């Protein structure tokens, strides 16, 4: 059986055909407070930081090599944002326990959407093109980085980025946003929205564990109850 191989020309032609027939799959994110979430390992003035790293080792899955597109990553779930961050750390370092200090040193950030945001559904687009979905998720970033640059080049003034599925937690969506050409800023920091996990509380019932009887879940409970990590006391 012949496996799918990434061919830039073939994929570009497929995307152009979908555009011509008006079938580019899109998702609208309506205005609202605190709709987007982002994990940060340090306290920064803002949670909104578009970056365009140049080198291969610095580029994420949807950062095109060479810094051609400035990208900002976020999710519509704190759980998924945390799973993305700590899932990568698990594979890099094998850590399954964290000292209590991490809860005060790492942050969950909330971001407001200040105008309607339109993104291309990268998963649905691949489905239309019959591209295996693991091409978006495997350890080879060649295809997703090319896709991000191609979509920005051809759709950068009509959309704000892409939506994709977390490979660490199949809950809601992740986003890779670019700065939309010729448009006003779409995002603003939620007032008092940058919180350490030690004080973070979430009311999203969809992520609560089965049988959860509380009205909220804390940052520490997210670590232990949902992500399977252990928070340990500081060494004496």
pLDDT category at 87 given cuts 50, 70, 90 is confident
pLDDT category at 95 given cuts 50, 70, 90 is low
pLDDT category at 10 given cuts 50, 70, 90 is very high
Please report the pLDDT score of residue 93 as a whole number: 61
Over range 113-135, report the average pLDDT: 97
Question: What ranges do the domains of the chain cover?
Answer: 9-230
Chain-wide mean pLDDT for the chain? Answer: 93
The yes-or-no verdict on residue 92 having pLDDT over 80 is no
pLDDT category at 3 given cuts 50, 70, 90 is confident
Q: Is the CB of residue 64 less than 8 Å from the CB of residue 143?
A: no
Please report the pLDDT score of residue 91 as a whole number: 55
Per-residue model confidence as pLDDT tens digits over 156-204: 999 999 999 998 888 899 999 999 988 899 999 999 999 999 999 999 9
Per-residue model confidence as pLDDT tens digits over 221-232: 999 999 988 888
pLDDT category at 99 given cuts 50, 70, 90 is confident
Q: How far apart are CA 118 and CA 155, in angstroms?
A: 11
């Amino acid at each position: 059986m012949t496996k799918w191989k990434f061919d830039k020309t073939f994929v570009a032609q497929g995307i152009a055909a979908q555009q011509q027939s008006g079938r580019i799959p899109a998702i609208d994110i309506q205005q609202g407070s605190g709709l987007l979430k982002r994990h940060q390992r340090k306290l920064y003035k803002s949670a909104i930081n578009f970056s365009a790293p140049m080198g291969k080792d610095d580029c994420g899955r949807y950062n095109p090599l060479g810094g051609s597109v400035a990208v900002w990553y976020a999710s519509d779930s704190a759980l998924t944002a945390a799973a993305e961050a700590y899932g990568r750390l698990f594979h890099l370092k094998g850590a399954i326990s964290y000292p209590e200090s991490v809860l005060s040193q790492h942050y969950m950030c909330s971001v407001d959407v200040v105008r309607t945001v339109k993104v291309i559904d990268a998963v649905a687009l691949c489905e239309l093109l019959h591209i295996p979905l693991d091409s978006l998720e495997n350890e080879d970033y060649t295809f997703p980085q090319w896709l991000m640059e191609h979509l920005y080049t051809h759709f950068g003034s009509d959309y704000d980025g892409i939506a994709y599925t977390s490979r660490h937690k199949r809950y809601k969506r992740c986003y890779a946003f670019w700065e939309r050409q010729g448009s006003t800023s779409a995002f603003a920091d939620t007032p008092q929205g940058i919180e350490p996990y030690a004080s973070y509380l979430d009311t999203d019932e969809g992520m609560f564990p089965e049988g959860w009887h509380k009205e909220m879940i804390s940052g520490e409970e997210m670590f232990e109850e949902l992500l399977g990590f252990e928070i340990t006391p500081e060494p004496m």
